Structure 1
Amino acid sequence: MTGTSKGTHEYVDDPRNADILISVNGELFPREKAVVSVFDSGFILGDGVWEGLRVHHGRIVFLDRHLERLYEGAKAIDMDIGLTPEALEKRLYATLQANQMHDGVHIRLMVTRGLKRTPYQDPRVNIGPATIVIIPEFKNPKPEAATRGMSLFTVHVRRGYPDVQDQKLNSHSKLNCITACIQAAKAGADEALMLDPHGFVATCNSTHFFIVRKGEVWTSTGEYCIPGITRGVVIELCREAGIPVFEKRFSLTDVYGAQEAFVTGTFAGIAPVSSVDGRILTKGRGPVVERLQNLYLARIEREST
């Protein structure tokens, strides 16, 4: 596969990213020298948790929620991050300051279990503290992502049971999402729509999925997807605005008959979905999606002041 990212993760290239400084365990490195060991748990096993963050008007939006999810995930996999949330927040802002970044910035915050003395899965062969990497980039979604409408394709790759690998963990182990993404791309779609083990709609491979039916907004139960920050904010916005919103089981039949659909994520916020499996839902952006986008932008502004 070749080409650039599609769907909500299409972005505007920014030449300033060639000169960014990346934080590796608190030390700043130029892009080409920012590396981790081949013995790092993240490289060997995908053993770790991560967050995607947006910077708006100098503030990392919804940072408290992101850090809560990060530390809960680390606790769930019995990994000591080695910094308090307050210390990690200071490191994040120090990295932004070193890069003179104030707006239009996306951060990938990654924490792995750290170095191993030999390539093996058992955490008891780990040596030293967790590895903490902060990659900030000048990165804005392409403007058309807010209006043109994505195409989704339902893939055979399922979001699995929690006793196999709990989908609530925002872990580095993303192979099921990657294989879903590949299948959707091969089918000519922007992103994959994934079902849960029972055949109900769960989520997309890198965003959360919503439909609009007769003025109601539906999303999955959340049992088979990470607890999305933007997903949660959108549910709050619906309730504040008096829009009926439900976290429930629903099938592809409900999706194909919906009036509108959209996805949510930290990078692009709210993006409309125009077609699923070749069924046209809307020509671009529908009225409910447009209203929610405006409410979300207003919420971002409030969070950044």
Structure 2
Amino acid sequence: MSFGTHAYVPDDRNATAIFNLNGKLVPRDKAVVNVFDSGFMLGDGVWEGLRVHQGKVAFLADHLDRLWEGAAALDIDIGLTREALTDRIYETLAANNMDEGVHIRLMLTRGLRSTPYQDPRVVISDATIVIAPEFKNPDPATASRAQNLYTVSVRRGRPDVQDPGLNSHSKINCVTACIQAIRAGADEGLMLDPQGFVATCNSTHFFIVRKGEVWTSSGDYCLGGITRGKIIDLCRANDIPVFEKNFPLAKCYSADEAFTTGTFAGLAPVGNIDGRKIGKGECGPMVKRLQGLYLDLIHADTAG
């Protein structure tokens, strides 16, 4: 069971799915890591969420770029070439006979430590790489059901505290933001940056539509979202005015439309923020148009 934009259709085939643990294909229930693994012990690692369509991973090059960039920032040696990791991903999909409606969690950690301690010099193994695929389609209602957001008190941090641009396993600020939103009866938390401008949601990126213009945050305090970037590119390619800028929460309340983006569900409309109806409180014409353009882009990327 999942909620909000991450609501999905359960699939019994996942009980017998095959995962890839450091190059070995193992049953889902046997895919375990040591308690001394850096990811389990310290949240020391980075990850990617991938979608599979028509037998191909959508926008794989972009995801690998982000993975390698995150590993470099954390000084983690992946230990594989991009080509070798790509082969490993497709080997895992083949072992599961997966080619459509699949979500992959690709996890990279620094590896095993000899003792519970944060210093990387106590690491005694190669990096841990887990490829966890599932038959996982978004709930079809997500594309039209207007989400409810709640502005949380948890802020996106500065890069000199914990870089919000890293897709790290250390997601505690997003978890606490999510908890606040849940307690407020919302689907997801809307997070502000240290200056009080709108930044992002706790697990998706955020956009508003005002007078035919699409606005999103400056990007200074959010993850470099793959889907976020594709939507910005699509707007520019289709003569839709789009702006990455600082804007206050008040501009959201008076927006014509709002939506979130993410790898799993694509674009999802937002109908309510802090108990205030946004526009007509439903999926609007701009969101519908961008949803269509984004689906076409996915099909084009995975065709052939």
Task: Give your verdict on TM over 0.5.
Answer: yes
* 2:292 aligned with 1:300: no
Whether the 8 Å CA contact 2:38–2:113 is kept in 1: the answer is: yes
Q: 2 CA distance for matches of 1:72 and 1:252?
A: 31
SS at match of 1:115: coil
SS at match of 1:223: coil
User: Among residues 108, 128, 131, which one is paired with 1:131 in the alignment?
Assistant: 128
1:84 matched to which residue of 2? 81
Whether the 8 Å CA contact 1:6–1:191 is kept in 2: the answer is: no
For residue 290 of structure 1, what is the amino acid of its counterpart? K
User: Among residues 140, 143, 146, which one is paired with 1:146 in the alignment?
Assistant: 143
Q: 2 CA distance for matches of 1:247 and 1:283?
A: 24
Q: 2 CA distance for matches of 1:33 and 1:90?
A: 22
Quote the RMSD (CA, aligned, Å).
0.5
2:219 matched to which residue of 1? 222
* 2:65 aligned with 1:68: yes
Deviations 1:261-303 (A, max 9, x none): 0000000000000110011013320000000000000001100
Q: 1 CA distance for matches of 2:2 and 2:160?
A: 31
Map 1:1-305; keep pairs closer than 5 Å. 4-281=1-278, 282-305=280-303
Q: 2 CA distance for matches of 1:122 and 1:287?
A: 52
Q: 2 CA distance for matches of 1:77 and 1:301?
A: 34
Runs of 4+ in 1 over 3 A off after TM superposition: none
Following superposition, the deviation at residue 90 of structure 1 comes to 0.4
Question: Which ranges in structure 1 are unaligned for 5 or more consecutive residues?
Answer: none
Whether the 8 Å CA contact 1:112–1:131 is kept in 2: the answer is: yes
Q: 1 CA distance for matches of 2:47 and 2:64?
A: 10
Deviations 1:47-75 (A, max 9, x none): 00000000000010000000000000000
SS at match of 1:270: strand
Q: 1 CA distance for matches of 2:65 and 2:249?
A: 33
Q: 2 CA distance for matches of 1:296 and 1:153?
A: 26
For residue 74 of structure 2, what is the amino acid of its counterpart? I
For residue 109 of structure 1, what is the amino acid of its counterpart? L
Q: 2 CA distance for matches of 1:62 and 1:163?
A: 30
Deviations 1:22-59 (A, max 9, x none): 10001011111110000000000000000000000001
Q: 1 CA distance for matches of 2:184 and 2:254?
A: 21
Q: 1 CA distance for matches of 2:128 and 2:156?
A: 28
Whether the 8 Å CA contact 2:261–2:268 is kept in 1: the answer is: yes
Whether the 8 Å CA contact 2:177–2:202 is kept in 1: the answer is: yes
Whether the 8 Å CA contact 1:153–1:277 is kept in 2: the answer is: yes
Whether the 8 Å CA contact 1:261–1:273 is kept in 2: the answer is: yes
Following superposition, the deviation at residue 216 of structure 1 comes to 0.2
Whether the 8 Å CA contact 2:270–2:281 is kept in 1: the answer is: no
For residue 59 of structure 1, what is the amino acid of its counterpart? K
Q: 1 CA distance for matches of 2:281 and 2:100?
A: 31
TM-score, with length taken from structure 2: 0.99
Following superposition, the deviation at residue 128 of structure 1 comes to 1.3
| Percent sequence identity over aligned pairs | 67
Question: Which ranges in structure 2 are unaligned for 5 or more consecutive residues?
Answer: none
SS at match of 2:298: helix
Q: 2 CA distance for matches of 1:84 and 1:167?
A: 26
Whether the 8 Å CA contact 2:52–2:101 is kept in 1: the answer is: yes
Q: 1 CA distance for matches of 2:28 and 2:229?
A: 33
Following superposition, the deviation at residue 148 of structure 1 comes to 1.1
Q: 1 CA distance for matches of 2:302 and 2:274?
A: 38
TM-score, with length taken from structure 1: 0.98
Q: How many pairs does the alignment contain?
A: 302
